[in-house]
Amino acid sequence: MIDRRAFLAAAAAATAGTLAGCAKKSPAKSDGSGSAGKPITLGFSQVGSESGWRAANTQSVKDSAKAAGINLKFSDAQQKQENQISAIRSYIAQKVDVISFSPVVVTGWDTVLKEAKAAGIPVILTDRSVETSDPSLYVTLVGSDFESEGERAAHLLEKVLAGHTGTVKIAQLEGTTGAAPAIERAKGFAKIMKASHPDWKIIASQSGDFTRAGGKQVMAAFLQAHPDIEVLFAHNDDMAIGAIQSIQAAGKAPGKDIKIISCDGVHDGFVAMSKGQINAIVECNPLLGPQLMDTVKTVHAGKGSTLPRWIKTQESDYTADQAAAALPSRKY
Amino acid sequence: MNLASLWRAAAQHRLFWPVTALIALLALNVPFTPGFFEVHLKNGHLYGSLVSIVLFGSPLILVAIGMTLVIATGGIDLSVGAVVAISGALACLVVSKQADQDSVAGVLLAFALALAAALVCGAWNGLLVARLGIQPIIATLILMVAGRGIAQLITSGQIITVNSDSYSLIGGGYWLALPFALFVVAFVAALSAALTRRTALGLLIEAVGGNAEASRLVGIRARRIKVMAYVFCALCAGVAGLMISSNVSAADGNNAGLWIELDAILAVVIGGTSLSGGRFHLGGTVVGALIIQTLTTTIYTIGVPTQANLVFKAVVVIIVCLVQSPAFRAKAFRARAKRSGPVPRPPGTPADAAHMEVSS
């Protein structure tokens, strides 16, 4: 018994030693790289690692920080607000130059943001927005405009349907119920529909939870209940990929018998588009690292007030004829 | 007269209410989708709503069968969703690394590795519950949380896509014009029914669930039976994981099998197995899982607004559970019961009485 306890104590001491070693090493390294002038230290708190999109987002932030010579302190909140708040508090305690985070949820940030403001540390939001009582609590938001993505999807559908007249029966695969991208994309799409296409009709709309399995299952049921679906608008590529399998099982040709428009622009989405199964994709760009780093530098130089409140990510639209050319350059 | 007694006998059968609920749910679709019960031949395989329900419901049926046996021993397994994710992730990783993804040998290797991983997960749960005496809900919660992390490690947080016709057979393919998954489910269901009802194993499981200590004292290896139940449950979940990933030809460590443990427990309960252990009904579980899948499909086909999905589901589940409760039926149909003398003995009561002896 004593032997075992002694062993455990020794093991614990050894682990602690290694950790201390690591901790000592890393500041030394960053000091070395910053010899050309004191590098900016950025504390970044990520939502989590819930999807391929998010993984690409994380990678982009890390890579571009390195390229911009910014000392990045990164933490993963594992989709919990408490983790994110404590990460932000620790950044405040460490006196980083700029704090940036992708908020897990929309509300409940006032207290911690006030602490950051009191410490004189500017905050930049990425990807998602927050609701605060005091707009001066953050400098700007670098992220996508989901509503405009929905509008762009509708405009892409206009292109795809060029020459088509009469009613168009549309099925919609929504994202997770209550998620901002799902709500906003549906809103943007409906706005254009209402404004300029009274003959377009959404005859079925259900949540596929942003997953392939969800998209496949919901589409299978849609095709049973509405065999006359002409267009599918999927809120992300993964659901569209799942739906394609169901359309094929129903003996129809995806992209021809049923036109498909989707959002995101992940690699597999482009593969499907290059096969002609998806007609058009609205890109939702996770590679916002370079834009974020530029913003960080501007804010650190004290020119934050010149920035707009919302810096929209640079995004493009793709149709099937561009797919093959764009495919090799897709990073996520 | 004869018909009435036949009806009464049918109403006494323990599958009567679950099957009635299933039929009622299926019938609910007809006004919205007139051709709901139609099944056509398309591209050489059967196609229709009923086929979809069986195809998409197969993984849940499998997981629920495994869950039934665990619950029968007085336990519960919350980690099945994580095992689904691990098995799918591992299999897809192995297949995606093959030079020829269609090669049958490579796919079989992937199956073997995935099921081996599931076996380890089950043995781990069994070890915690049976050997270390940790509460099943806590013991399996560990793997429920950690397992999804393991699955994400395997996939490096990405969705792994495979392009293999051999791999897509088990969960998305067809054999003899029927979904291949149907054969897998039929095989597992028949195997577990035969093992538990044609041998003494079922009785031993119920004895352990009724009172583990008493069963040990009469010479049953209670711990071993429990470990076996968890291993079997994890294996079922492993096969379900293969099916789910094969169905969409991709492994999604984050979302595959998410919350399937709750659906499986619900299926088991709807099927008439008591959560306190000591008795189980495999047939009821299969019907329960079909009810849940039909409910999901119904929501999609009749067009319940997305925001109301969960409420609709909850209402249907409450109705199904109420209708199955003998106490509720006794109250609701009191007038009828009074006329025909004493309250009819609810189905399952004799079995209860028998097990009371074991557990008291």
Is A52's CB within 8 Å of B158's CB? yes
The reply to whether B43 touches chain A by the CB within 8 Å rule is yes
Same domain, A69 and A169: no
pLDDT at B350 over 60: no
Measured in whole angstroms, the distance separating CA A273 from the mean position of its chain's CA atoms is: 21
Q: How confident is the model at residue A24 (pLDDT cuts 50, 70, 90)?
A: very low
Say whether both A224 and A277 belong to one domain: yes
Q: What is the ipTM of this complex?
A: 0.85
Distance of residue B56 Cα from the nearest chain A Cα, in angstroms: 7
Q: Say whether B52 and A220 touch across the interface (CB within 8 A).
A: yes
B359 to chain A, any CB pair closer than 8 A? The answer is: no
Angstrom distance (rounded) from CA A289 to CA A68: 10
Instruction: Report percent pLDDT > 70 for chain A.
Output: 88
Average pLDDT of the segment spanning A231-250: 95
CB contact under 8 A, B254 and A50: yes
Matching residue, tokens 């809103």: A187
Task: Tell me phi and psi for residue B170, to 5 degrees.
Answer: -65, -35
B241 touches chain A (CB under 8 A): no
Residue boundaries of the structural domains of chain B: 27-309, 325-360
**Cα separation of B71 and B236, whole Å?**
14
**CATH number of the domain to which A163 belongs:** 3.40.50.2300
Residue B164 and residue B107 in contact, taking contact as beta carbons nearer than 8 Å? yes
Q: List b or e across B105-124, with b for residues whose CB sees 16 or more CB atoms inside 10 angstroms.
A: ebbeebbeebbebbbebbeb
- The CATH architecture to which B27-309 belongs is Orthogonal Bundle (1.10)
Q: Using beta carbons and an 8 Å cutoff, which residues of A are at the interface with B?
A: 49-52, 54-55, 174, 177, 204-207, 209-214, 216-218, 220-222, 224-225, 238, 241-242, 245, 249-251, 268
Question: Are A260 and A244 contained in the same domain?
Answer: yes
Size of interface A-B (CB pairs under 8 A): 91
Rounded-to-integer distance, Cα B15 and Cα B271, Å: 8
Return residues 115-134 of B near A (CB < 8 Å).
none
In a domain, residue A12? The reply is no
Residue A30 pLDDT: 39
Note whether residue A15 is domain-resident: no
pLDDT in tens, B270-286: 998 989 999 899 999 99
- Inter-chain residue contact A224 with B307, CB threshold 8 Å: no
**Residue A71 pairs with which residues in a beta bridge?**
A41
Tell me the Cα Rg of chain B: 21
Contact A213 B252 (CB under 8 A): yes
Taking a C-beta distance cutoff of 8 angstroms, is the pair B214, B61 a contact?
no
* Residue A111 pLDDT grade (very low, low, confident, very high; cuts 50, 70, 90): very high
CB contact under 8 A, B301 and A206: no
Q: State the pLDDT at residue A27.
A: 39
Q: Does residue A132 sit in the same domain as residue A206? A: no
Looking at the fold, whether A263 and A321 belong to one and the same domain comes out as: yes
Q: Is the pLDDT of residue B290 over 60?
A: yes
Q: Domain for residue A7, yes or no? A: no
Looking at the fold, whether A66 and A105 belong to one and the same domain comes out as yes
CA B224 – CA B352 distance, rounded (Å): 25
* Length, in residues, of chain A: 332
B301/A225 Cβ within 8 A: yes
Amino acid B76: pLDDT:
96
pLDDT at residue B338 is higher than 70: no
Q: Report pLDDT for B241.
A: 97
Q: Would you place residue A4 in the very low, low, confident or very high pLDDT band (cuts 50, 70, 90)?
A: low
Q: How far is B284 from chain A (nearest CA, A)?
A: 24
Q: Which residue has the higher pLDDT, B87 or B335?
A: B87
Give the mean pLDDT of B237-244.
Answer: 97
> Do A103 and A159 fall into the same domain?
no
Segment B124-131 shows an average pLDDT of 96
Which residues in chain B touch residue A49, judged by CB atoms under 8 angstroms apart? 152, 157
Give me the residues paired with residue A98 across strands. Answer: A42
Whether B306 sits inside 8 A of A207 (CB atoms) is yes
User: B65: which DSSP letter?
Assistant: H
Residues A170 and A127 in one domain: no
Q: What is the mean pLDDT of residues A192-200?
A: 94
Domain limits for position A234: 146-284+317-329
Residue A50 lies in a domain: yes
Q: Inspect the interface and report whether the beta carbons of A209 and B172 lie closer than 8 Å.
A: no
Domain count, chain A: 2
Number of H helices, E strands in chain A: 11, 12
Q: Which residue of A has its CA nearest to B36?
A: A224
Same domain, A220 and A89: no
Distance in angstroms (rounded) separating the CA atoms of residues A106 and A103: 7
List Cα–Cα distances, B316 to A176, B33, B265, B322, in angstroms: 22, 19, 16, 10
Chain B residues whose CB is inside 8 A of the A214 CB are 255
A189 shares its domain with A107: no
Gap from A222 CA to chain B (nearest CA, Å): 6
Which of B33, B158, B247 is closest, CB to CB, to A213? Answer: B247
CA distance A122 to chain B (A): 31
Place of tokens 């508090």: A89
Choose the weakest-confidence range: A61-65, A195-199, B91-95, B250-254: B250-254
What residues of B are in contact with residue A224 (Cβ under 8 Å)?
A: 33, 35-36, 48-49, 52, 301
A182 & A137 share domain:
no
Averaged pLDDT, B22-45: 89
Q: Is residue A18 part of a domain?
A: no
Task: Report yes or no: B163 at the A interface, CB cutoff 8 Å.
Answer: no
Same domain, A293 and A254: no
- Is the Cβ pair A204, B303 closer than 8 Å? yes
Q: Which two tokens stand for residue A220?
A: 């299978």
pLDDT of residue A172: 97
A238/B306 Cβ within 8 A:
no
pLDDT at A119: 94
For the residues A298-327, what does the mean pLDDT come to?
89
Report if residue A211 sits inside a domain.
yes
Average pLDDT over residues A27-44: 62
Instruction: Answer yes or no: is A230 within a domain.
Output: yes
DSSP A317: E
With respect to residue A88, please indicate whether it lies within any of the assigned structural domains. yes
More confident of the two residues A22 and A39: A39
d(CA B252, CA B93): 11
What is the structure's pLDDT at A128?
A: 84
Task: Answer for the pair B223, B130: CB distance below 8 angstroms, yes or no.
Answer: yes
The shortest CB-CB distance from B252 to any of A54, A204, A212 is to A212
pLDDT for res B306:
87
Q: pLDDT class for B43, splitting at 50, 70, 90?
A: confident
Give the model confidence (pLDDT) of B149-183 as tens digits.
999 899 887 889 999 999 999 998 899 899 999 99
Question: How far apart are the C-alpha atoms of B210 and B206, rounded to whole Å?
Answer: 6
Res A17: pLDDT: 43
Phi then psi for A177, rounded to 5 degrees? -55, 125
